[in-house]
């Protein structure tokens, strides 16, 4: 995570040297609470998990207070699900059976490519407020699962997780100018999945997250 953050900061700073207005770059390190839900009555949410999300966002202003936002980052999602019935996961060619009544903790890691629209207010003192809406196309790169009884302990379940996930996000925030084109960014963002992350046709599991946005704008 530290290496990813350092590389992202260096990349953002380097690009911003050559970027011409109306392009700005936002390097972000965001604390995030994530959980899973399902439309199957036999699969219940059973708690959230805490992770960090790191990324780089480019804002392209096509008007003074309106911008297209495009980003890339590592998004850590997941949560705990309580299964009333037995369920199977695939791990490296083997089948892992979870007995009824067990809670499964899933940690899902994605390459996240958020795209959306950013709307800003006029500057008030040193602060500018914004609203951002958009979609989150994601590619799964890691998936681990553990159970309460120890039958599964950080098992690799990528074979049971769809490669592609699509979600949406909505957030509010503030940019506080430090001088020149540099600003501190803070905010709150809600995101939810539109597609099923699991290959289990019955459960229809979707991601959810509340993120505290912390970043530096160049």
The residues spanned by each domain of the chain are 2-217
Pairing of strands 94-98, 43-45: unpaired
Beta carbons within 10 angstroms of residue 162's beta carbon: 16
Residue 128 C-beta-side C-alpha neighbours within 13 Å = 19
* 3-class DSSP assignment, residue 124: strand
Mean per-residue pLDDT for 105-120? 97
pTM: predicted TM-score of the whole model, two decimal places: 0.88
Confidence of residue 18 (pLDDT cuts 50, 70, 90): very low
Mean per-residue pLDDT for 136-149? 95
Q: Return the CATH fold of 2-217.
A: Porin (2.40.160)
Radius of gyration of the chain (CA): 19
pLDDT at residue 148 tops 90:
no
The pLDDT value recorded for residue 1 is: 56
Quote the mean pLDDT of the chain: 90
Q: What is the DSSP letter of 41?
A: T
């Amino acid at each position: 995570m530290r290496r990813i953050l350092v590389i992202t900061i260096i990349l953002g700073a380097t690009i911003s040297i050559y970027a011409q207005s109306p392009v700005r770059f936002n390097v972000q390190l965001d604390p995030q609470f994530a959980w899973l839900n399902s439309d199957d009555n036999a699969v219940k949410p059973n708690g959230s998990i805490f992770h960090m999300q790191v990324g780089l966002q480019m804002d392209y202003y096509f008007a003074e207070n309106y911008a297209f936002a495009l980003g890339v980052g590592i998004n850590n999602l997941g949560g705990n699900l309580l299964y009333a019935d037995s369920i199977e996961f695939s791990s490296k060619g083997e089948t892992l059976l979870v007995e009824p009544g067990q809670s499964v903790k899933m940690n899902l890691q994605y390459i996240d490519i958020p795209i959306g629209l950013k709307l800003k207010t006029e500057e008030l003192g040193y602060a500018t407020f914004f609203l951002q809406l958009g979609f989150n196309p994601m590619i799964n790169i890691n998936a681990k699962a553990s159970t309460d009884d120890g039958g599964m302990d950080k098992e690799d379940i990528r074979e049971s997780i769809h490669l592609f996930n699509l979600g949406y996000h909505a957030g509010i925030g503030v940019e506080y100018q430090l001088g020149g084109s540099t600003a501190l960014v803070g905010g709150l963002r809600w995101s939810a999945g539109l597609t099923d992350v699991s290959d289990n046709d019955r459960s229809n599991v979707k991601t959810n997250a509340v993120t505290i946005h912390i970043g530096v704008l160049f």
